[in-house]
Amino acid sequence: MRFAKFGTGSNKVIRITKLIFSADGTARWRVTQAPTTTVDGTVQTVKNRRMGKGQSNEGVLYYGPTVTAEGDLVYDQWVNPAVALVLDLVDSPWVLDPGNSILFTFSSGAGGNGSMSIEWDEEPR
């Protein structure tokens, strides 16, 4: 089982607009809110697609957090090999208020590899 934690700082609301999950074997992706972690993990590099004078983002993605409680289930889906699951949430985004986080859990019975992409917008509170 592998974990990734995504959270926001204290000044902005995050609207998650798209999630893409894939795997090289049959795998399960779960999303939970308000996880409890003792260590956040390794910070992943994110790309800001804002042109011109882009502001620094508050959304942070961590790989490999130490999870003591996964939190409340938001989404649970099995993914078939080589078929991407795309959640287009533009018209009804998932909203993270400042200081909140969500946890992505990937598990594969065969120990396969998974890939996740997340797109979001940020606004001042």
State mean pLDDT over 54-81.
88
pLDDT of residue 3: 82
pLDDT of residue 52: 66
Summarised one tens digit per residue, pLDDT across range 10-43 is: 888 899 999 999 988 889 999 999 999 999 999 8
What is the overall mean pLDDT for the chain? Answer: 87
pLDDT of residue 124: 81
Q: How far apart are the first and last CA of the chain?
A: 34
AA letter at 20:
I
Contact 2, 116 (CB under 8 A): no
Q: What angle do CA 14, 115, 103 make, to 5 degrees?
A: 45
pLDDT of residue 32: 95
Q: What angle do CA 46, 111, 17 make, to 5 degrees?
A: 30
Percent of the chain with pLDDT over 90: 42
pLDDT of residue 1: 62
State mean pLDDT over 64-77.
94
**DSSP string spanning 36-92?**
EEEE--EEPP------SSPPPP--EEEES-EEEE--EEEEEEEE-TT--EEEE-TTS
Contact 19, 102 (CB under 8 A): no
Domain boundaries, the chain: 2-124
Q: Which residue has the tokens 């080589």?
A: 82
